[in-house]
Amino acid sequence: MRLYMKERRAKQKEENNEAYKLFQRQEKQAQRARIRTLALQADPEQLERIASRRKLIDTSNEAIDSMERQYIKARERYRHKLENMDVDSIVAKRETDKLYQRMRRAQIKLAGGSKKKTYVQPVTNNVTIQQQTNDEEQHEEQDEEQDEEQDDEPRQKKKGSLPLVTDVAHLFSTMKSRGRNEPLGQTTIKMYVSKLNTVSRIVLGHPFDGNLNFLLDSKNVIDKFIDGWKGSNYKDYMSPIVVLLKHFEVNPEIIDDYSTPMKQQLQENEKTRGDNQMSDKEKENYIPLPQVEKAIEEYNIYKKQKGVIDKVKLENLTIMALYFKNNLIARDDYKEMRITNVSKRANELNKEYNHLIYNPQTNSVVKFVMFAYKTASKYGKREFEIPSDLRKILNAYIKTFNKKVGDWLFTTTTGSQYTGSNFGKVIQNSGYAITGKYLNVNLIRKIWIIWFFNNAKRPSINDKKAFAERFLHSKDVQEEYNRVNVD
């Protein structure tokens, strides 16, 4: 059908080029008008689904076009081979090729299954059993020869060894978490996709495009990434790579190349946590909790004109208030938060993101409902009431930014959802604007926990447990955030 439509359009263009161009312009204008109409009528969730579906269709069309070009070339080569063959040989070869192609498709479907696995198919009258057996053995011998030739070189230099992944998020959703026989959570999947894109940008210069084969050259990836990555914890960026390579049963030596630096850095981090020592960078940006609270209280969100709110300052105040005037001291989970009508029933809430429950009748926020966070697989759905001071700030933010039910709580300047790294920068910039210190999520949580252990009077186990629940982690993890060398 696609080929037919291409030929038809080419014929129309050849017969009357001007009329064809006019028709194309009219079609594009009509399509844009339809999209604008849909955008006005649809809610944000529907628009996001449409955008995702369109992206998937475009990616699929590109893959289909590529396969079509390859098929045309292969067909020409095949016809050239058939020119000097008799009828019986042609029939036998076609049947053998069909059997071989079925076997190869089954192997690809098994995603890394053994090439020598036998797939028995019915034998037609035109091909004898002996012919079929000989041809299959010949193909297996060719595969073995190719394997031996490729094994003479390092495995990581192989090209085309892994299949094209058109939807890596869906692929991650089919996998299970390490240590627990459960599917990966949505938060983990989004984090893996984001980190895989970052690795691809640093190593290849563009976001991940579905081709995993660059990961097989582990030395090149690690050298380029560590050289180009200015952060400290690069181990987190190796995790999705290891998960993918294990899924496709890649050579264990290549997987070890990625997992070894991960383990080394993890051991270093565990030692640092065990010593409870503050790093030089933490010392540089650390500020005691009372000073943060005082800076937030004194922060002016108005412009020079009396009563005119500065939107940038209001967003800074809202973000810092979420971390320092809140019962919930989350990670970067507010990027996954949408404004949801209070009338929605609990069983109707979408579990793929978090919710700020809002009452349009009173124009006021009610509570937080958390589904999408790092430890959701352990703690499940959690609800947090909103303190009165924070409620006032959130209400002012929603009104000033004209937020509606269904909107993301925070968005980029283009109106799209934040990624993890981008929202992390927003948090740091907000902290710097108010306190003069670059406060990231980890440091914010440490500020709270240092204050708790240094100021609470001999907290009991229950006190520690209740305090840890505000962070959505365990009291044991909480101990690791404490620092003993605070001036």
Each residue's pLDDT tens digit, 458-487: 777 888 888 888 888 887 777 666 665 565
State yes or no: pLDDT of 358 exceeds 60.
yes
The pLDDT-based confidence of 268 (bands split at 50, 70, 90) is: low
State yes or no: pLDDT of 65 exceeds 80.
no
What mean pLDDT, rounded, does the chain reach? 77
The predicted pLDDT at position 78 comes to 66
Rounded mean pLDDT of 225-229?
74
Which one of 43-47, 119-123, 270-274, 450-454 scores highest in mean pLDDT? 450-454
- What is the share, in percent, of the chain residues with pLDDT greater than 70? 69
* Residue with the two structure tokens 């797939």: 119
Name the residue among 251, 178, 237 with its Cα closest to residue 208: 237
The predicted pLDDT at position 354 comes to 94
Q: How far apart are CA 481 and CA 470, in angstroms?
A: 14
Rounded mean pLDDT of 155-184?
71
The pLDDT-based confidence of 158 (bands split at 50, 70, 90) is: very low
The predicted pLDDT at position 150 comes to 41
Rounded mean pLDDT of 249-267?
80
Q: Which of 63-77, 192-206, 384-398 has the lowest mean pLDDT?
A: 63-77
More confident call, 136 vs 191: 191
Each residue's pLDDT tens digit, 95-150: 777 777 777 677 666 655 444 444 344 433 344 334 444 444 444 444 444 444 44
337 SS3 class: strand
Strand partners, 486: none
State yes or no: pLDDT of 456 exceeds 80.
no
The predicted pLDDT at position 273 comes to 57
The token pair that represents 175 in the structure block: 């996998």
Each residue's pLDDT tens digit, 50-59: 667 666 666 7
The predicted pLDDT at position 42 comes to 59
Rounded mean pLDDT of 387-391?
94
State yes or no: pLDDT of 3 exceeds 80.
no
State yes or no: pLDDT of 423 exceeds 70.
yes
The predicted pLDDT at position 250 comes to 87
The token pair that represents 294 in the structure block: 């005082």
User: Which is it for strands 354-359 and 364-370: parallel, antiparallel or unpaired?
Assistant: antiparallel
The pLDDT-based confidence of 82 (bands split at 50, 70, 90) is: low
Element (H, E) at 16: none
C-alpha distances out from residue 113 to 42, 108, 140, 168, 452, Å: 44, 7, 14, 20, 54
Q: How far apart are CA 280 and CA 287, in angstroms?
A: 13
For the entire predicted model, the pTM comes to 0.56
Beta strand residue intervals within 100-214, DSSP E: none
State yes or no: pLDDT of 448 exceeds 70.
yes
Each residue's pLDDT tens digit, 293-312: 999 999 999 887 677 899 99
More confident call, 200 vs 97: 200
Rounded mean pLDDT of 209-232?
81
The predicted pLDDT at position 167 comes to 86
Each residue's pLDDT tens digit, 315-352: 999 999 999 999 999 888 999 999 999 999 888 899 88
The predicted pLDDT at position 361 comes to 92
Strand partners, 367: 357, 385
More confident call, 116 vs 364: 364
State yes or no: pLDDT of 453 exceeds 60.
yes
The predicted pLDDT at position 366 comes to 95
Question: How many C-beta atoms lie closer than 10 Å to residue 306's C-beta?
Answer: 6
The predicted pLDDT at position 117 comes to 40
Residue pair 234/265 in contact (Cβ under 8 Å)? The answer is yes
The predicted pLDDT at position 484 comes to 55
More confident call, 270 vs 154: 270
Q: Which of 25-34, 84-93, 279-288, 419-428 has the lowest mean pLDDT?
A: 84-93
